[in-house]
A and B are shown apart, each in its own frame.
Chain A
């Protein structure tokens, strides 16, 4: 191993708190000791990454409280060191940690809150693309409708929560107390960026969730209507539900322009 390679290897090991002889690489100078000089980098590494997690997961931090949040950061840094050049992606595996860590996994709401916050971040800077407008729908031939394939905008994320993660997030955001984590059943949400670039989230009925899941899978309009009919138990009501969803989605920019099969 070259001198440069060995030095860089030891530096990185020191940052990660592994036993190392890194201080032997540091020249002795007046003022701070070699150990103190190494610690400046070690502290900066931990502080910088903790700050990123605090910014990305503000409500999770409030829900956990300082002490537990610090434990979470410590575990995360040790188990999931950053592999990305962008700090934007550093916290992507927080939900995974909260699902698997013995300290946190018994409280399923934590992973759900973390996942919700990751989805908000994703929606914030997802790819831009022109959104579907009512005029597009009006130009579609009636006979073409069953085979039309709508596509979700890149910012759209679907979320199903077993716990009151979104309600708790909202309560904390508004300075209130979170409700009980147990909500007695699965609830569905859509997270998306609106045309004015503001990120929003909306509750979804079981029917609309099924429709959006079908659209996400690339199924054509006819199948989406069938999925809706299966949920509501009526063909006509199902189609009506899909049309309502399309209307809401067009207003809020959930679909991209030029659905496949429309021309």
Chain B
């Protein structure tokens, strides 16, 4: 499977139901939209009614939350079949999910549970990634998750783990800068060290999102505006790196579409001129 970063298509937004009509009515200056894959496993109705109209006007990418690629249970081919069917219908630019486990056996936690950063996990994920990509017949991009704990058995840092996984499998990452910041605060490391460790060839997409700060720890709630520290990390990243597809992600406590668009414009404004999509069109 040839895993190289997808072409730069610009700045995107997470497509959420509350914005469907406004997007169709106003056709905002958004380069692409990201959908939650599992929301479109259903057969029809309003979700598909709106998506089919939006995808006529904008490129779509797919982002899953339930693949549970790190699970030690048997590979869930029922899930993969639904995903493949949805991919065929949506024809996304690329497909991503999370580097984590969320289910075990029949139990589904509907959470993104962190993997231990060990040789055993590297072997396990390398094997799973190969099975999934062979089945889907396309690359799967993996997102780093926020975490609130680390494991006694971990043998390396999260960033060393990602870099090694990329070295072994050439897999691409969706780097969520907010998740890096959240984990950095919760585990007392420097977020820049994490970002610097991920090679350019391994980054397919960026997520920017908000969180809830409880002082002693941060929870990755995706229901707040993007904080200054995350913006600063993004700005430094953009100055130092080749253009990467960048997206504003909001999953709850939805503000007006105007406010979400303001965050998108802020991301565009922080990126250097070399990140103009026209230069790469």
A residues near B (Cβ < 8 Å) are 2-5, 7-9, 11-12, 15-16, 24-27, 29-32, 34, 37-38, 40-41, 44-45, 48-49, 81-88, 90, 123-129, 154-155, 193, 197
Q: Which 6 A-B pairs have the closest CB atoms?
A: A127-B43, A128-B44, A125-B45, A125-B42, A85-B66, A37-B149
- A31 and B150 alpha carbons, distance in the complex (Å): 13
Within residues 96 to 128 of chain B, which ones have a CB less than 8 A from any CB in chain A?
A: 101, 103-104, 106-111, 113, 115-116, 118, 120-121, 124
Chain A contacts for B193, CB-based, 8 A: none
Closest chain-A Cβ to B245's Cβ sits at a distance in Å of 26
* Count of interface residues, chain B, beta-carbon cutoff 8 Å: 48
Within residues 57 to 103 of chain B, which ones have a CB less than 8 A from any CB in chain A?
A: 66-68, 71-72, 76, 79, 82, 101, 103
Given A4-B118, A12-B109, A15-B109, A25 and B45 contact (CB-CB distance below 8 Å):
no
Q: Does B254 contact A (CB under 8 A)?
A: no
Closest chain-A Cβ to B93's Cβ sits at a distance in Å of 23
Q: Which of B41, B68, B71, B149 contacts A27 (CB under 8 A)? A: B149
- What residue in chain B is nearest A198 (Cβ atoms)? B46
Task: Type the 1/0 row for B132-158, where 1 means its CB is closer than 8 Å to any CB of A.
Answer: 000000000000000011111110000
Q: Does B235 contact A (CB under 8 A)?
A: no
**Interchain CB contact under 8 A, B152 and A26:** yes
Q: Which of A2, A49, A83 contacts B106 (CB under 8 A)? A: A83
**Interchain CB contact under 8 A, A29 and B150:** yes
Task: Type the 1/0 row for B184-196, where 1 means its CB is closer than 8 Å to any CB of A.
Answer: 0011100000000
**Residue with the greatest number of chain B CB neighbours at <10 A, chosen from A12, A34, A37, A126:** A12
Q: Does B26 contact A (CB under 8 A)?
A: no
Between A and B, 9 residue pairs with Cβ closer than 8 Å are A8-B113, A11-B104, A11-B113, A25-B151, A29-B188, A32-B186, A32-B216, A128-B44, A197-B46
- A111 and B67 alpha carbons, distance in the complex (Å): 32
**Interchain CB contact under 8 A, B101 and A128:** no
Q: Does B159 contact A (CB under 8 A)?
A: no
**Interchain CB contact under 8 A, B111 and A2:** no
**Interchain CB contact under 8 A, B188 and A40:** no
Chain B contacts for A83, CB-based, 8 A: 106-108
- A34 and B149 alpha carbons, distance in the complex (Å): 8
Given A4-B120, A125-B44, A85 and B151 contact (CB-CB distance below 8 Å):
no
**Interchain CB contact under 8 A, A126 and B44:** yes
Closest chain-A Cβ to B181's Cβ sits at a distance in Å of 16
Within residues 14 to 48 of chain B, which ones have a CB less than 8 A from any CB in chain A?
A: 38-39, 41-48
- A54 and B49 alpha carbons, distance in the complex (Å): 25
**Interchain CB contact under 8 A, A85 and B71:** no
Closest chain-A Cβ to B51's Cβ sits at a distance in Å of 11
Closest chain-A Cβ to B120's Cβ sits at a distance in Å of 5
- What residue in chain B is nearest A24 (Cβ atoms)? B152
**Interchain CB contact under 8 A, B217 and A128:** no
**Interchain CB contact under 8 A, A2 and B72:** yes
**Residue with the greatest number of chain A CB neighbours at <10 A, chosen from B67, B108, B152:** B108
- A4 and B124 alpha carbons, distance in the complex (Å): 9
- A12 and B105 alpha carbons, distance in the complex (Å): 10
**Residue with the greatest number of chain B CB neighbours at <10 A, chosen from A24, A34, A86:** A86
Given A2-B72, A26-B151, A45 and B45 contact (CB-CB distance below 8 Å):
no
Chain A contacts for B198, CB-based, 8 A: none
Chain A contacts for B149, CB-based, 8 A: 26-27, 34, 37-38, 40-41
Closest chain-A Cβ to B218's Cβ sits at a distance in Å of 10
Q: Does B261 contact A (CB under 8 A)?
A: no
Given A4-B124, A12-B104, A41-B113, A126 and B43 contact (CB-CB distance below 8 Å):
yes
**Interchain CB contact under 8 A, A25 and B153:** yes
**Residue with the greatest number of chain A CB neighbours at <10 A, chosen from B44, B103, B107, B219:** B44
**Interchain CB contact under 8 A, A124 and B46:** yes
Closest chain-B Cβ to A162's Cβ sits at a distance in Å of 29
- A123 and B41 alpha carbons, distance in the complex (Å): 15
- A214 and B82 alpha carbons, distance in the complex (Å): 32
Given A3-B120, A26-B152, A27-B149, A128 and B76 contact (CB-CB distance below 8 Å):
no
**Interchain CB contact under 8 A, B103 and A85:** yes
**Interchain CB contact under 8 A, B116 and A7:** yes
Chain A contacts for B110, CB-based, 8 A: 45, 48-49, 82, 87, 90
